[in-house]
Structure 1
Amino acid sequence: MLDYTQEAWWSPILTPSSSRIHLSISVVASHLFVCEGIHLDESGLVLVLLIEQFLPLAYISVLRLAELIVYDRIETMLTLDQQTLNKQLLPKYLLLIL
């Protein structure tokens, strides 16, 4: 069971001093694959999650996977009209995405 009262689920996992960095990266990558499978109607929230939480990570393999998901979601969202975008995103995030 995840404890959402903690700071962030990956911060204790992805420390440079960790001897389990390879395992940690694979755990984060598996979470990214879950994010990739989220329905397209939730693209706005997935983008916010990926941009704010995954893109700042310093691991190139994780970063590239997150970027691919972000690019795909943005391409999908560019085909949507403004009303649908407003349903998917809060107005403060529209400027971040577009």
Structure 2
Amino acid sequence: MRVTREAFYKPEEVLQEVEKKVKEAKERREPIDYLTFVPDGEPTLDINLGKEIELLKSLGIKIAVITNASLIWKEDVRDDLSKADWVSLKIDALNNDLWRKINR
């Protein structure tokens, strides 16, 4: 499992691409409740996650992040996630009994 965060995209490029999609949605009169980080991998692996959230907040739309929580022990990850309006932590367990205790 990877625990080293790295840059995957330039935050400014993420903002530009999302701005285009938001504009297209508005032109179609489609409401947007959240901009959600659900990349091809784990979003907290991106060292630029916090900066991307900050930039996207300028669009006036709430930000959500869905994470497997594997890096939640890292302070910088928690700091980045605290910038989002909504965070979903997916937590797995080694066995069914433990999973039921965690996910009750």
TM-score range, shorter chain: 0.3 to 0.5
Larger radius of gyration: 2
TM-score (norm 1): 0.34
* Higher fraction of strand: 2
TM-score (norm 2): 0.32
